[in-house]
Amino acid sequence: AFELNHPDAMQGVVGLVNIGHEVTNVNILEDGIPVLTRDLSVGTRRFREDLQREKGLASEEAERVIQGTSQHPDLAGYVSARGEEIALGVERAAAFLATASRNAGGLSRVYTTGGGARIPGLNDVLGARLKVPIELANPVQRLRVKDDVFETVPVDEVAPLLMLAVGLALRRAA
């Protein structure tokens, strides 16, 4: 799904960061080939639990804040703290690759996906720390789909959640 929808990412060293509920998966690709994978023990659950614990929000309200459907004045602080944690994991993975491989250049771009990729301000925090462009990966960007498929939910809202499912659907039988 990533290769099909982001062919420009198949050159150089790029990061693909899937921010899930429990875990963030960091994949570093060199010329389109996965060369390093790391799992970070931070996901959207940690963002939500921080808001619940420190601001007394109910689980449902904290989830709405994380999803961007509700606003909270303190969200930026939590996004910054957890975003730094994710960025540090990406930095370490890229640094390890740079020292382990003579051919690998520096990270040129990072694509985010998963439910956490939609957290308001997170991509900005990652970009500021990593000093590379951050782009929300869209696994359906170049796919032809029926007009009514995304009728009830905007494609931009759901696309980051579909990377794994679309990738599996596009696999060819071995």
Q: Which amino acid is at 7?
A: P
Q: How wide is the angle at C-alpha 120 spanned by C-alphas 22 and 37, nearest 5°?
A: 40
pLDDT in tens, 60-119: 988 888 888 888 777 888 888 889 999 999 999 888 887 876 666 688 999 999 999 999
Which domain covers residue 12, as residue numbers? Answer: 2-43+85-170
Q: Which of 16-25, 63-72, 88-97, 162-171 has the lowest mean pLDDT?
A: 162-171
pLDDT of residue 97: 82
Residue 106 or residue 3, greater confidence: 106
The answer on pLDDT for 173 being more than 60 is: no
d(CA 85, CA 14): 19
For residue 115, tell me if it sits in a domain.
yes
Residue 94's nearest CA partner among 11, 6, 17 is 17
For residue 76, tell me if it sits in a domain.
no
Task: Calculate the CA 106 to chain-centre distance.
Answer: 19
Residue 166's nearest CA partner among 139, 135, 148, 147 is 139
pLDDT > 70: percent of the chain: 92
Which range has highest mean pLDDT (8-17, 41-50, 100-109)? 41-50
For residue 64, tell me if it sits in a domain.
no
Q: How many domains does the chain have?
A: 1
DSSP 114: S
For residue 117, tell me if it sits in a domain.
yes
Is residue 155 within 8 Å of 166, Cβ to Cβ?
no
Q: Which amino acid is at 111?
A: Y
pLDDT of residue 151: 75
Residue 137's nearest CA partner among 170, 114, 153, 154 is 114
Tell me the sheet residues that pair with 29: 14, 34
CATH number of residue 9's parent domain: 3.30.420.40
Report pTM: 0.86
For residue 157, tell me if it sits in a domain.
yes
pLDDT of residue 26: 96
Give 22's pLDDT tier (boundaries 50, 70, 90).
very high
For residue 61, tell me if it sits in a domain.
no
Residue 119's nearest CA partner among 37, 40, 25, 46 is 46
3 state SS of 39? strand
For residue 153, tell me if it sits in a domain.
yes
For residue 149, tell me if it sits in a domain.
yes
pLDDT of residue 43: 92
